[in-house]
Amino acid sequence: MENDTLVSLEDLGYQGPLLEDGALDGALSGGAASPEFTKLCAWISTELRLYCQLEENVHATNCPSEAEAFQLEMSGLLSELACPYPVLASGDITQRFLNSTDCLLLLTFLVSELEASRMILVNKPEKKNQESGSPMFLELKGICMSLGMSKPPANITMFQFFSGIEKKLKEAMSKVPPHHVGEPLMKKALGPVHVEKIEAINQALVKEYEMRRKMLLKRLDVTVQSFGWSDRAKTHAEKLASVYQPLRSALCTKSNISVAHLLAARQDFSKILRTSSGKIREKTACAINKVLMGRVPDRGGPPL
């Protein structure tokens, strides 16, 4: 069985030291305490992540004292892969992958998963987005339509294509007043390093605001649910759901702001308007703002 595993590893492209005579036996005996064994498992895990959407990632260890970290990560990976072997996926985590029999079974399972993933990819290759339906194509198509450009020829280079867009933009800008578009908010020229840092900042903000949106939407859900607690409202539960659910489903938690929005922003974006100012209030005012609460009955509090 070990020879079959070695042949499979070689076929999968593994070129590590465990292909040498007797090396795999020693690594299997050491199990989770063997850095070489953990390196092999980490390699298979990395390969699996190329074909499967896995959250858990297994890292190689540098010394036997790091065995517990490997056991935790590998147990998480086996749980994601729905490992059918109880000896590998259940019981005390710190007692797993310690003998050669269990380690060989683990290796056989991981190798078979990697082989199956590659076979699935070959037999059912991932359908690539058709050029006409990819987000980038749709964005470029929208730019061309906005500028009134004709369909570019098939043999045009990207440099020629973007040069044509730049030319059309300059023509369009020449037909409007000097300050019609406004000055850009970001005037400094950005290199790859700057864009990478801005993207990292944006991702941090996206996560922050995603958490805030989730909290606000949860508060909204709870508030709407509280409207249905009364006996009278319970008779209209279906009507309430039919009105609320379509509106609620349109509210997403993740922001779609990207670095492109920063590059396209103009200086007027930096002006902060009060939410109660005249122009803003025209769009946010509604009839319910004029409804006044009546006198609240005394609930036993101190007199005012």
- 137 shares a domain with 110: no
Q: Quote the CA–CA distance of 12 and 5 in Å, as a whole number.
A: 10
The amino acid occupying position 275 is T
Checking if the pLDDT of 20 tops 60, the result is: yes
pLDDT digits (tens, 9 = 90+) for 275-302: 666 677 777 777 776 767 677 666 666 5
Which H/E stretch holds residue 278? Answer: helix 278-284
Q: Which tops the pLDDT comparison, 273 or 88?
A: 88
- 100 shares a domain with 15: yes
- 92 shares a domain with 9: yes
Residue pair 100/27 in contact by the 8 Å Cβ criterion: no
Does residue 180 lie within any of the structural domains? no
Does residue 183 lie within any of the structural domains? no
Does residue 196 lie within any of the structural domains? yes
- 160 shares a domain with 272: no
- 140 shares a domain with 99: no
Does residue 292 lie within any of the structural domains? no
Output the pLDDT for position 130. 46
Does residue 51 lie within any of the structural domains? yes
CB neighbour burial string for 29-60, b if at least 16 within 10 angstroms, e if fewer? ebbbbbbbbbbbbbbbbebbbebeeeebebbb
- 103 shares a domain with 29: yes
Residues constituting the chain: 304
Dihedral of CA 63/69/73/75: which sign?
Answer: positive
- 252 shares a domain with 208: yes
Both tokens of 293, joined, read 């609460």
- 111 shares a domain with 147: no
pLDDT digits (tens, 9 = 90+) for 178-211: 788 888 888 888 888 888 899 999 999 999 999 9
Q: Quote the CA–CA distance of 46 and 38 in Å, as a whole number.
A: 12
Does residue 33 lie within any of the structural domains? yes
- 16 shares a domain with 109: yes
Report how far Cα 288 is from the mean position of its chain's Cα atoms.
Answer: 39
- 155 shares a domain with 105: no
pLDDT digits (tens, 9 = 90+) for 87-128: 998 888 888 999 999 999 999 999 999 999 888 887 765 555
- 145 shares a domain with 107: no
Does residue 249 lie within any of the structural domains? yes
Q: Quote the CA–CA distance of 271 and 47 in Å, as a whole number.
A: 49
Query: Is the pTM value of this prediction over 0.85?
Result: no
- Look up the domain containing 169 and give its range: 132-173
Output the pLDDT for position 129. 46
- 101 shares a domain with 15: yes
The widest CA-to-CA distance across the chain, in whole angstroms, is 90
Output the pLDDT for position 91. 85
Does residue 108 lie within any of the structural domains? yes
Both tokens of 226, joined, read 């509280």
Output the pLDDT for position 218. 92
Q: Quote the CA–CA distance of 47 and 146 in Å, as a whole number.
A: 44
Checking if the pLDDT of 303 tops 70, the result is: no
Give how many domains the chain has, as a whole number: 3
